[in-house]
């Protein structure tokens, strides 16, 4: 038995207690020499942890599950999933553990979860471990998404284990401590439905309603309301991804939460040159999860969610299907409205009627695509154009005559430059800088990671000393590919 961690934060075991069929009690592997690489101090305080305790040897052992409070019930969660369209009935946490839930300073319940903590009964052929690089990637990108005001799981810490991990080469091992409003996924419902245990499916749905969609409980058909709630939060989430050029890379059904938070930052990247078919994942050979496909895939995943809970929506199968299809039809409408309003905000046209804004949006995206202009820096430069300094934007476009015509019509409607700066980021985790930071951290130097985190933690405020974090990758960087790290 591991030593008890003296933390003032109480761990609950609500998921383990309420849904034991989806939870296998398990313990993290002992790390031979755990060393804290990065700690998210603001998040620690938000959760009620003392950052000084978490930096202590005992706190570090808590962060990787080697020292857990007596009341905690660490479990590996079970779930199914469609991976690249192919159904796997039993996936689950092969290298992860839910330590338990904690009530934060704001009174909300959140999961504390480990990634890379060793093999579990769901591990199949995997080693259950993770390397420093991929765990720091998740930390960097998830914290960037949080700073961009996009719903996301958070990263509390990355701890080096002192154990080597065999990938293409031997790499230093690490554990990520992740925080989420929950880890309930579409795949969780697929797993429960496949068991044919209607009591389990209903309890899982009730658990999801209580944690994420409480207003559904008061509806005449709470499970249909749950479906609509999940559709709504995912439609908004996908629109927000698209507006910042984020490519998730592995949108399997086990990587889609019912809370509407982004989860599992594996082969993810922010698009640089605007390219609707951009793919960064080394394993997505057919482009299933390309940038432009993400909303369509989200809708497909939600249809799998609807199939899983259809039996709860109505006892008559035909009526259940009709109700679910009607709900799913709302996805495109909500996605389109969120995306278009977001694009109007990016162009400073919040007060403009759609008839004026729509052609301006469409024409500009066509010009940006033709040039493959850098998505982030181009939109940021438009606020300068709104203030009269047009060259930074103009030099990124090839068809200058068309762009000058567009600029004239756009500036006539009086775009709000200050409002644009509040939604168009200056700093994102540029792929070449992420790779530099991960390579340095793998060699023991976390300085570049810390500097990158400082830049992206305040993405909308231009400031001196961090200019390189706003620059696109040099030509020599070449085509970018990312790997999931398993």
What positions carry a catalytic annotation? 254
List all residues 6 or more positions away from 337 whose beta carbon is below 8 Å from its beta carbon.
none
For residues 188 and 22, the answer to whether their CB atoms sit within 8 Å is yes
List all residues 6 or more positions away from 407 whose beta carbon is below 8 Å from its beta carbon.
385, 390, 393, 394
Three-state secondary structure readout of the chain: CCCCCCCCCCCECHHHHHCHHHEEECCCCCCCCCEEEEECHHHHHHHCCCHHHHHCHHHHHHHCCCCCCCCCCCEEECCCEEECCEEECCCCCCCEEEEEEEECCCCCEEEEEEECECCCCCCCCCCCECEHHHHHHHHHHHHHHHHCCCCECEEEEEEEEEEEEECCCEEEEEEEEEEECCCCEHHHHHHHHHCCCHHHHHHHHHHHHHHHCHHHHHCCCHHHHHHHHHHHHHHHHHHHHHHHCEECCCCCHHHCECCCCECCCCCCEECCECCCCCCCECCCCCCCCCHHHHHHHHHHHHHHHHHHHHHHHCCCHHHHHHHHHHHHHHHHHHHHHHHHHHHHHHCCCCCCCHHHHHHHHHHHHHHHHHHCCEHHHHHHHHHHHHCCCCHHHHCCCCCHHHHHHHHHHHHHCCCCHHHHHCCCCCCCCCHHHHHHHHHHHHCCCCHHHHHHHHHHCCCCCCCCCCHHHHCCCCHHHCCCCECCCC
List all residues 6 or more positions away from 125 whose beta carbon is below 8 Å from its beta carbon.
none
How far, in Å, CA of 355 to CA of 116, rounded?
51
Q: How many CB atoms lie within 10 A of CB 89?
A: 12
Q: How many CB atoms lie within 10 A of CB 333?
A: 10
């Amino acid at each position: 038995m591991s030593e008890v961690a003296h933390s003032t934060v109480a761990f609950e075991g609500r998921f383990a207690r309420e849904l034991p069929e989806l939870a296998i009690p398990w313990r993290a592997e002992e790390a031979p020499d755990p060393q804290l690489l990065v700690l998210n101090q603001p998040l620690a305080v938000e959760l009620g942890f003392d950052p000084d305790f978490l930096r202590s040897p005992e706190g570090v052992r808590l962060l990787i599950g080697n020292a857990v409070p007596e009341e905690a019930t660490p479990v590996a969660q079970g779930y199914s999933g469609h991976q690249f369209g192919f159904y796997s009935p039993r996936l689950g946490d092969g290298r992860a553990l839910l330590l338990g839930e904690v009530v934060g300073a704001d009174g909300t319940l959140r999961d504390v979860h480990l990634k890379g903590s060793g093999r579990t009964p769901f591990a199949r052929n995997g080693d259950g471990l993770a390397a420093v690089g991929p765990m720091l990637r998740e930390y960097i990108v998830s914290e960037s998404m949080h700073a961009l005001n996009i719903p996301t799981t958070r990263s509390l810490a990355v701890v080096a284990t002192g154990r080597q991990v065999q990938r293409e080469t031997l790499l230093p091992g690490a554990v990520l401590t992740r925080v989420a409003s929950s880890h309930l996924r579409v795949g969780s419902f697929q797993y429960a439905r496949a068991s044919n245990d209607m009591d389990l499916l209903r309890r899982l749905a009730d658990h999801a309603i209580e944690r994420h969609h409480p207003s559904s409980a008061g509806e005449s058909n709470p499970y249909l309301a749950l479906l609509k709630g999940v559709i709504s939060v995912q439609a908004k989430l996908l629109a927000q991804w698209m507006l910042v050029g984020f490519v998730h890379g592995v949108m399997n059904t086990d990587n889609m939460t019912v809370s509407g938070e982004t989860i599992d930052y594996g082969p993810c990247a922010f698009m640089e040159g605007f390219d609707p078919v951009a793919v960064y994942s080394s394993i997505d050979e057919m482009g299933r999860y390309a940038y432009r496909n993400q909303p369509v895939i989200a809708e497909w995943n939600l249809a799998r969610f609807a199939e899983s809970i259809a039996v709860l929506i109505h006892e008559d199968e035909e009526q259940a299907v009709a109700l679910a299809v009607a709900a799913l039809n709302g996805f495109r409408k909500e996605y389109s409205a969120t995306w278009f309003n977001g694009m109007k905000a990016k162009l400073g046209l919040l007060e403009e009627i759609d008839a004026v804004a729509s052609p301006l949006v469409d024409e500009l995206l066509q010009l940006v695509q033709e040039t493959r202009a850098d998505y982030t820096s181009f939109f940021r430069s438009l606020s300068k154009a709104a203030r009269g300094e047009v060259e930074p934007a103009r030099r990124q476009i090839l068809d200058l005559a068309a762009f000058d015509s567009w600029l004239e019509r756009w500036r006539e409607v009086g775009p709000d430059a200050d409002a644009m700066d509040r939604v168009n980021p200056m700093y994102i985790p540029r792929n070449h800088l992420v790779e530099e930071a991960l390579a340095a951290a793998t060699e023991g130097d976390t300085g570049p990671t810390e500097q990158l985190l400082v830049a992206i933690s305040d993405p909308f405020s231009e400031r001196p000393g961090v200019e390189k974090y706003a620059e696109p990758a040099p030509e020599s960087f070449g085509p970018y590919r990312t790997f999931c790290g398993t």
